[in-house]
Structure 1
Amino acid sequence: MKKLVVITGASSGFGMELAKEFAKDGYPMLLLARRVEKMEALNLPNTMCKKVDVTDKESFESAVREAEAQYGKTDLIINNAGVMLLGDLSVQDPKEWKRMLDVNVMGVMNGMQIVMNDMKERRFGTIINLSSIAGVKPFANHAAYCASKYGVAGLTEVVRGELSPYNVRTLYICPGAVSTELLGHTTDKNIIEGYEQWKESVGATNITANDVAKTIKYAYELPQAVSLRQIVITDTMQDA
């Protein structure tokens, strides 16, 4: 019997593609997102779907414990849930900064804390956090988003050092421009148009969410002794 995989933000984008890929190989899964109907519509076997906001640690942990009671302890958590609200920092609504920091950083920290102590005790397990190429280098109109994704990179590195003596892997993935619903979170239509024009101009339109999902699954399925600590994955034609 394969071990439990927990995926946040599983109602679209990377999360949905991850769910499909892990289902192909018979992994029991807990899928979490606010739009539970989209996860349930996948009709995946051995899968529990729960409506959870990752910023609500109590409901997040309750869902994980319920899945563990049915499928066994979590062997992999993929902290994928995130929002991207691009904007010029000088005029952007601070509520958008807070939303990104709450979901993109606090949500990830919640997921890590929920599973990490059990993993330490078992001396086995994997945590994979979704950062971004915007967590590696700066981009215009990405100030608050970069802050959140640099934060994911930093906290993952720190926890990696804390968990590696216990044989627990802690990795982070930094995707570049990929077509998902993420850009649609941005409220400035001019920024959305500019971003899409940039993607077209550099030809960064061929990589898919499924490509990223397959890469994450590959990193997890390597032997426990092999840790791909950081993966930056972009369209070959993306030069920035």
Structure 2
Amino acid sequence: MEFSGRTALVTGATAGIGRAVAAQLAREGADVVVHGRDTARGDEVVTEITAAGGTARFVQADLGDPRDAQRLTEEAGDVDVLVNNAGVYKFHSTPEMTTDLFDLQMNLNTRAPYLLVRDLAPRMAARGHGSIVNISTVAATLATTGTGIYAASKAALEQLTRVWATEYARQGVRVNTVAPGPIRTPGMAGHEDMLKAIADGMTAMGRVGEPEEVAEAVTFLASDRAGYITGATLEVGGGRPALI
């Protein structure tokens, strides 16, 4: 129960990696603020957590709207752990990428975390402690077909991680990133063959990962066990295969 007495805000916590992170932090004693856009799914996650003996509440917000992002930080209150998980991916080649899809990915994947950190990190610093974990992707450092804007939005988030780490390190706030590889999530339903092909080709382990495996890494970086780690990107992607 190493998060006992601490509040954790997990964005995009109604499915996939975010849901696994919220459940894991709750098991470790955190009071979890579950964020999402769908109230029914949010209530389902809260019910699941409380049934297992944890504490959670749901706050609905559309992080594509800066005003809603600010409202989320106000309703979340004093947050000790922030997990920026909410995001979107739309895979298209450069000629196929529309301006609207460009804005959608940059706004949700980069601007929203920026706004949340801008509002919450100073409050953490004022209390002398806090941990922020951003969720990126191995695609941020690999050139993969059709992922240009998605990868760019996450690469920007990784750079912001390094900037924020230096800004807040001496005020007791750590900022790190977890970069998952191919993970089995509801968003990939119907694309299992493609997911397996990616895992076979780009991971040393040759298998698809599970959301709970990412959640373990997030929980570690958020915890005091990672007290001397900040500005780091931890890849949870089954390792990189040899070129030859």
Please state which band the TM-score falls in when normalised by the shorter chain. 0.7 to 0.9
Unaligned runs of 5+ in 1: none
Query: Shift of the alpha carbon at 1:183?
Result: 4.6
1:90-126 alpha-carbon deviations (Å, 9 max, x no partner): 2222221111001000111111112011112122101
Select which of 66, 69, 80 maps to 2:75: 66
Select which of 89, 96, 103 maps to 2:101: 96
Report the identity percentage: 19
Unaligned runs of 5+ in 2: none
Q: Which amino acid aligns with 1:210?
A: E
SS at match of 2:96: coil
SS at match of 1:5: strand
CA distance in 1, matches of 2:156, 2:123: 24
Which residue of 2 is the match for residue 154 of structure 1?
Answer: 159
Which residue of 2 is the match for residue 76 of structure 1?
Answer: 81
Q: Which amino acid aligns with 1:23?
A: A
Which residue of 1 is the match for residue 150 of structure 2?
Answer: 145
Which residue of 1 is the match for residue 92 of structure 2?
Answer: 87
Q: Tell whether the 8 Å contact from 1:78 to 1:130 is kept in structure 2 after alignment.
A: yes
CA distance in 2, matches of 1:163, 1:182: 34
Q: Is 1:196 matched with 2:195?
A: yes
Which residue of 1 is the match for residue 64 of structure 2?
Answer: 55
- What is the number of equivalent residue pairs in this alignment? 230
Which residue of 1 is the match for residue 39 of structure 2?
Answer: 36
- TM-score, normalisation: structure 2: 0.85
Q: Tell whether the 8 Å contact from 2:18 to 2:85 is kept in structure 1 after alignment.
A: yes
Q: Tell whether the 8 Å contact from 2:42 to 2:58 is kept in structure 1 after alignment.
A: yes
Residues 140 and 75 of structure 1: CA distance in aligned 2, closer, same or farther (over 3 Å): same
Once superposed, what is the RMSD of the aligned Cα atoms? 2.4
Q: Tell whether the 8 Å contact from 1:85 to 1:183 is kept in structure 2 after alignment.
A: no
Q: Tell whether the 8 Å contact from 2:200 to 2:207 is kept in structure 1 after alignment.
A: no
Q: Is 1:181 matched with 2:186?
A: yes
- TM-score, normalisation: structure 1: 0.86
Q: Tell whether the 8 Å contact from 2:181 to 2:238 is kept in structure 1 after alignment.
A: yes
Q: Tell whether the 8 Å contact from 1:11 to 1:36 is kept in structure 2 after alignment.
A: no
